[in-house]
Structures are given as structure tokens and as C-alpha cells.
């Protein structure tokens, strides 16, 4: 294909699918060549879920069309193109040769791994800051500077002030910053939950599905049925569907889990925000407007907005503040390999089985399934946090290291020693029983504390506390649990140690 004479190559990565991405803002439509490339290295550095690979390729192809319609010249390299070198580095090298310029411009990648590689490219690309976040990496570093402990809640309040979201002057709407005490109700199945909107694959997506089926059949996950939005318009329609049908119940049932309801009142838009199809601030403004119109209550709107301008921005700040060292953290010195059932779902623990099966089908699980079931089990069993991290990065359609790593290493596995979470998210079966309907279909008895039929989370929880006594006993938020353990009879303590040893030996 012939290209016009160019003065600059603008590289757009698969999670930069926004028309107002920094690298496009100053570019000249009449001369710039936009380079997009499907490369095997990005699909296989961890073996991403088949649905995730298909989603990204299809969204990239649709975005290339969107850019062409807007008058840009796009040089799009498909995975199966002859001579595709298979990596960003190789494709930029080939493009430099093809277009006769070494002037390469790119918006900073989301992942340290890619940035580090880019900085060594012979073309020495100009790397522009990614301004799709509300808090720049420099502003986060300033915020963190000199603080004894970093806590999301204080960061979040600053983000509310900065954006004006749910603010009345300098005061939070309703007089409180956080309405979580109204949230987190268990759902018992009698509530109605809307289904997620499902988008029929168009010709572009069908072609991608065939490619993924051919090239990545050995990756985890079901490729079909494929229903994700792959265009900006569809992603907006998914957001509108959430606001109209699910947002009102978002806070209430945010932490519940039901076997037959994979999505409950969750938005299922993380994958669209993270790849650039939805803008995080615009999403929050739509949610705020729904509250201002009286469509939803404050606890729902506030709870949702906090996830985006609070948690999402906060974990990204931590990631760039602490990388590359953060990925090597292992404060609890956990070394167990990841059990096979994280891939097969083949376990008698009904909760873990349900979450893995759902993950295989949908490349999606909601926050509490990730944190309190698969994450909690890995934490209690002492699984190597790096192996846990690679699993989460591979299996979820919304997973990129900048957001997945702090959630996994920090929040879920306490591998950063408490930088991100003030205490480990460890829980016994009672928590899962309270928040879900998984236990009634389980071969284990959630009420039994010890013995072969007892819920493994019950004794593994105490065993975890015992194993990490030296590190965790002094944590004021754990004091009550240690006091409870101390009061258990010697016989019970022995039974806990025996059951945990037997169970873990069989893993
Ligand atoms: P909802 O529950 O509807 O929440 C709305 C939005 O808030 C999400 O789309 C997301 O943009 C944001 N959000 C909510 N919680 C978080 C959080 N803790 N961190 C960052 N953003 C948040 N989120 C990812 O986007 N990518 C990941 O790879 C990822 N890995 C995770 C791994 C673990 C171990 C845990 C415990 C959480 C992880 N999360 C991750 C956070 C959260 O689980 C997902 O953002 C959420 O489940 C996405 O589904 P949703 O769009 O339906 O979100
Ligand atoms: C995740 C992913 C996949 C599977 N494939 C591609 C690809 O072929 N081309 C591309 O530009 N981006 C892809 N991505 C997203 C990148 O991994 C992501 O842009 C980097 O990790 C930086 O965050
Ligand atoms: Fe999970 Fe235990 Fe309940 Fe079984 S009994 S579903 S293992 S919490």
C-alpha cells in the first residue's frame, strides 16, 4: 500500500483507543502516519484469555476505521500480515524504514515493561505523558511525598475537590465523603438484576474471532459467545445501559455474589475505560447527572465514582511510584505454586469453582469475586504472589499491569507489606457464606470448623494468622482476630494446624 510522505509516525497502542490521546493532539492530519500493530508478543507475554485478545484486536481495528473516517492516515499491521515481526520494537523499526522518518511519537504506555523497552528503541521515540488520568504520575508522587501512610480515602477526597464531582462548594454532597455503610448488603437471589448488554459481532469482529481461534486456541478461556462492545458507540451504549438499569442498586449489592448472576449491578465497563473507549471523567459525570436528576441515590453514585476517581487513580499512582520494584514484592514470603484449579476450575470448593468457571466463560469476575474468593484463597494458602499476579493479568479482559498489579500484589496478596491495604483481605468461609449463595452447592460445610468436611477457608484463615504472627499481630486492625485465636482451646489450635497441613499438602 502506498503512503503519503510523512514527517512523523504516531504509534498508537492497543489500550490507547481515544481520539484525544496525547500523541494525536498536536499531530498534523495532512502529514502524520498513525501506526497501529497487532503483535504476537503482546498477546503472549502472558497468555491472555482468548476473549481479551479478540476484544483488543477488534477494538483496535474499529478504532483504525474511526480514525480513517476522521481523515487520518492509518498504517495498520495485522497479526497475520506477511513480515509482521511480532513486537512493537520490530514493527516500529519496519515502519521507520517504510516511511523514511525516524520521528516517532507515542503516548506513554500504561505498563512499565513497555516503557522500559521503548526507551531503548534506536528511533528514540518522543514519549508524551498519558493525560487520560485525573492525577498525573508527578502529582501523585507529590501527594505521596512525606506521608507516613498512603490511604486511598484521603487521596479520593482530593480527587473530589479537584474534579468537583458530587461537591457543593468545598463540601461533599450529603455532608459525608463516603456512604459505604449503606452498601454491601448480601443479595439472596430474590432481587432482580439486569443482564449486561450483549453486542452481536460484526464482520470485523467475526474475522478477528477466526484469527484468535486459529492462533490462540491454546490460551485459557472461552472465545465464544463473544458479546463485548468493540466500538466507542457500543461502549457508550453499555454505559447508558448500566446507568439506566443497574446503577441504582450498585452500592447496595456491590459485594454480593450469586451463582446464577455473574454481573449483578456491576458496570462491566472496566475493559472499555482501560483501553480508551470510555473516558473515566466523562463516565463519572454521567453518573453524577443521574444522581442530580434523582434517578439514583447518593450511596450508589458516590460508591461508583469513588471506584473510578479514587481506587482506579490511586492504584495507578502507586504503580508508577513503586515500579519496577513493586512487582518483586513478597512481604509474606509466599512460595506455593498456583494450584491447577485456577485454570481448570476443578475443585470441590464451590466458590472458587464458580469464580474460575465464570472467569473462563466471560474474562470477567467482579471485585469481590477477585478479592474475597480467588484472591483470598491464594493469600490463605500462601501462593507465590507473582504467580497470582500473572494469573490475574492473563484472565481478565480489563487487566493491564498498571491496574492489576497493585490490586493483586497490594490489595489482595498483601505482598507489599501494607502499602496499599492497611490489613490483609483474609476471611474465613463465614464471609463468603454471608455474601453469596455458593456454600449451599458445596461439598464442604461452611459451618464446620475442622475435620475433612469442614470449609477449608475456616481453618486456613486461622493457620494464616498463625503463620504470620510475627508480622501481623502488631497490626491494630488484626488485634481482635488474634485475641479470638488466643482464646481457642489447645485442642482446636492443634486441629487447625493439622487440617491446614493436610489440605495444603494435597494442593
Ligand atoms: P464495577 O464494580 O462496576 O466498578 C466500576 C469501575 O470502577 C470499574 O470499571 C473500574 O474502572 C473501577 N474500579 C473499581 N474497583 C477498582 C479497583 N480496585 N482498582 C481500579 N479500578 C477499580 N481492575 C481493572 O480494571 N483491571 C484489573 O486488571 C484488575 N485486577 C484486579 C485484581 C484483583 C486481585 C482485584 C481484587 C481487583 C482487580 N481490579 C482490576 C479491580 C476491580 O475488580 C475491577 O476494576 C472491576 O471488577 C471491573 O468490573 P466492573 O467494570 O464491572 O467494575
Ligand atoms: C493486551 C494487548 C494485546 C493482547 N495485543 C496488543 C497488540 O497486538 N497491539 C497493541 O498495540 N496492544 C496490544 N495489547 C495492549 C498492550 O499490551 C498495551 O498497550 C501495553 O501493555 C501498554 O499498556
Ligand atoms: Fe467456599 Fe467454604 Fe462455602 Fe464451600 S463452604 S463455597 S469452600 S466458603
pLDDT digits (tens, 9 = 90+) for 235-288: 999 999 999 999 998 888 888 999 999 999 999 999 999 999 999 999 999 999
Element housing 50 (H / E): helix 50-69
Count how many residues are written for the chain.
507
Range of the domain at 436: 341-506
Q: Indicate if ligand 2 lies below 6 Å from the C-beta of 39.
A: yes
Q: Best substitution site from 36, 56, 230 to test ligand 2's pocket, by max atoms within 8 Å of Cβ?
A: 56
Q: Is residue 436 part of a domain?
A: yes
Q: Which ligand is nearest to the CA of 15?
A: 2
Q: How far is residue 263's CA from residue 242's CA, in Å, rounded to a whole number?
A: 11
The answer for residues whose C-beta is within 8 angstroms of residue 369's C-beta and 6 or more apart is: 257, 355, 358
Whether residues 105 and 175 share a domain: the answer is: no
Q: What per-residue confidence (pLDDT) applies to 484?
A: 97
Grid cell listed for 429:
468461609
Whether residues 317 and 360 share a domain: the answer is: no
Q: Indicate if ligand 2 lies below 6 Å from the C-beta of 312.
A: no
From 267, 295, 322, give the residue that closes a domain: 322
Peptide bond into 172 cis (omega under 30): no
Q: How many domains does the chain have?
A: 3
Q: Which ligand is nearest to the CA of 440?
A: 3
Helices (H), 216-312: 232-245, 270-275, 280-292, 298-305
Q: Indicate if ligand 2 lies below 6 Å from the C-beta of 249.
A: no
Q: Which ligand is nearest to the CA of 407?
A: 1
**Distance from residue 346's CA to the centre of ligand 3 (Å):** 14
C-alpha atoms less than 13 angstroms from C-alpha of 57 in its C-beta half-sphere: 30
Q: Which ligand is nearest to the CA of 57?
A: 2
Q: What per-residue confidence (pLDDT) applies to 6?
A: 73
Provide the 3-class DSSP secondary structure of residue 104.
strand
Q: What per-residue confidence (pLDDT) applies to 62?
A: 98
Whether residues 87 and 39 share a domain: the answer is: yes
Q: What per-residue confidence (pLDDT) applies to 75?
A: 98
pLDDT digits (tens, 9 = 90+) for 136-185: 999 999 999 988 888 999 999 999 999 999 999 999 999 999 998 767 77
Name the nearest CA neighbour of 217 among 392, 443, 54, 390.
Answer: 54
Whether residues 441 and 316 share a domain: the answer is: no
Q: Is residue 111 part of a domain?
A: yes
**Distance from residue 377's CA to the centre of ligand 3 (Å):** 11
The answer for residues whose C-beta is within 8 angstroms of residue 418's C-beta and 6 or more apart is: 331, 475
**Distance from residue 368's CA to the centre of ligand 3 (Å):** 15
Peptide bond into 225 cis (omega under 30): yes
Q: How far is residue 109's CA from residue 320's CA, in Å, rounded to a whole number?
A: 11
pLDDT digits (tens, 9 = 90+) for 446-464: 999 999 999 999 999 999 9
Q: Best substitution site from 452, 457, 499 to test ligand 3's pocket, by max atoms within 8 Å of Cβ?
A: 457
Q: What share of the chain is helix, strand, coil (3-state, %, to 5)?
A: 50, 5, 40
Q: How far is residue 38's CA from residue 358's CA, in Å, rounded to a whole number?
A: 27
Are the C-beta atoms of residues 88 and 37 closer than 8 Å to each other?
Answer: yes
Q: Is residue 303 part of a domain?
A: yes
Q: What per-residue confidence (pLDDT) applies to 485?
A: 98
Provide the 3-class DSSP secondary structure of residue 461.
helix
Whether residues 489 and 402 share a domain: the answer is: yes
Residues of the chain scoring pLDDT < 70:
1, 182, 189-190
Q: What per-residue confidence (pLDDT) applies to 181?
A: 79
Report the nearest-CA residue for atom 1 of ligand 3.
351
- Does this model's pTM top 0.85? yes
Q: Indicate if ligand 2 lies below 6 Å from the C-beta of 110.
A: yes
Q: Indicate if ligand 2 lies below 6 Å from the C-beta of 106.
A: no
Q: What per-residue confidence (pLDDT) applies to 1?
A: 57
Amino acid at each position: 500500500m502506498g503512503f503519503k510522505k510523512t514527517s512523523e509516525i504516531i504509534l498508537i497502542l492497543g489500550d490507547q483507543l481515544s481520539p484525544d490521546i496525547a500523541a494525536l493532539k498536536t499531530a498534523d492530519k495532512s502529514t502524520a502516519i498513525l501506526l497501529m500493530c497487532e503483535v504476537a508478543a503482546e498477546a503472549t507475554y502472558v497468555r491472555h484469555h482468548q476473549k481479551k485478545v479478540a476484544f483488543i484486536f477488534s477494538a483496535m481495528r474499529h478504532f483504525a476505521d474511526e480514525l480513517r473516517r476522521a481523515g487520518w492516515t492509518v498504517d495498520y499491521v495485522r497479526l497475520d500480515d506477511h513480515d509482521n515481526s511480532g513486537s512493537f520494537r520490530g514493527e516500529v523499526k519496519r515502519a521507520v524504514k517504510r516511511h523514511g522518518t525516524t520521528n516517532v511519537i507515542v503516548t506513554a504506555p500504561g505498563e512499565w515493561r513497555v516503557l522500559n523497552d521503548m526507551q531503548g528503541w534506536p528511533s528514540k521515540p518522543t514519549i508524551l505523558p498519558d493525560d487520560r488520568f485525573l492525577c498525573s504520575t508527578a502529582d501523585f508522587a507529590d501527594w505521596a511525598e512525606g506521608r507516613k501512610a498512603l490511604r486511598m480515602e484521603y487521596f479520593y477526597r482530593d480527587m473530589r475537590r479537584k474534579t468537583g464531582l458530587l461537591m457543593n462548594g468545598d463540601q461533599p454532597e450529603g455532608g459525608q465523603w463516603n456512604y459505604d455503610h449503606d452498601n454491601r448488603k448480601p443479595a439472596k437471589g430474590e432481587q432482580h438484576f439486569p443482564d449486561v448488554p450483549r453486542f452481536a459481532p460484526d464482520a470485523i469482529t467475526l474475522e478477528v474471532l477466526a484469527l484468535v481461534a486459529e492462533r490462540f486456541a491454546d490460551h485459557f478461556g472461552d472465545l465464544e459467545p463473544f458479546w463485548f462492545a468493540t466500538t466507542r458507540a457500543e461502549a457508550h451504549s453499555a454505559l447508558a445501559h448500566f446507568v439506566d438499569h443497574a446503577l441504582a442498586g450498585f452500592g447496595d449489592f456491590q459485594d454480593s455474589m450469586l451463582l446464577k448472576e455473574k454481573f449483578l449491578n456491576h458496570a462491566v465497563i472496566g475493559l472499555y475505560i482501560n483501553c480508551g473507549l470510555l473516558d473515566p471523567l466523562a463516565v463519572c459525570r454521567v453518573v453524577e447527572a443521574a444522581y442530580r436528576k434523582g434517578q439514583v441515590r447518593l450511596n450508589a453514585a458516590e460508591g461508583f465514582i469513588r471506584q473510578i476517581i479514587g481506587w482506579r487513580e490511586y492504584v495507578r499512582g502507586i504503580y508508577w511510584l513503586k515500579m519496577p520494584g513493586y512487582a518483586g514484592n513478597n512481604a509474606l514470603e509466599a512460595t506455593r505454586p498456583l494450584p491447577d484449579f485456577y485454570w481448570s476450575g476443578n475443585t470441590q470448593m464451590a466458590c472458587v469453582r464458580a469464580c474460575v468457571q465464570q472467569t473462563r466463560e466471560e474474562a470477567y469476575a467482579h471485585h469481590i469475586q477477585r478479592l474475597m474468593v480467588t484472591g483470598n484463597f491464594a493469600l490463605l494458602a500462601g501462593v507465590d504472589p507473582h504467580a497470582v499476579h500473572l494469573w490475574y493479568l492473563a484472565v481478565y479482559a480489563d487487566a493491564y499491569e498498571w491496574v492489576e498489579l497493585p490490586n493483586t500484589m497490594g490489595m489482595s496478596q498483601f505482598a507489599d507489606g501494607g502499602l496499599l491495604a492497611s490489613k490483609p483481605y483474609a476471611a474465613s468461609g463465614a464471609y463468603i457464606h454471608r455474601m453469596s449463595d455458593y456454600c449451599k452447592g458445596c461439598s464442604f460445610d461452611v459451618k464446620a470448623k475442622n475435620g475433612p468436611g469442614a470449609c477449608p477457608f475456616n481453618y486456613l484463615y486461622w493457620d494464616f494468622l498463625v503463620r504470620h504472627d510475627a508480622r501481623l499481630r502488631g497490626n491494630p486492625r488484626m488485634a481482635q482476630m488474634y485475641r479470638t485465636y488466643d482464646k481457642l482451646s489447645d485442642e482446636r489450635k492443634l486441629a487447625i494446624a493439622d487440617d491446614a497441613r493436610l489440605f495444603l499438602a494435597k494442593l
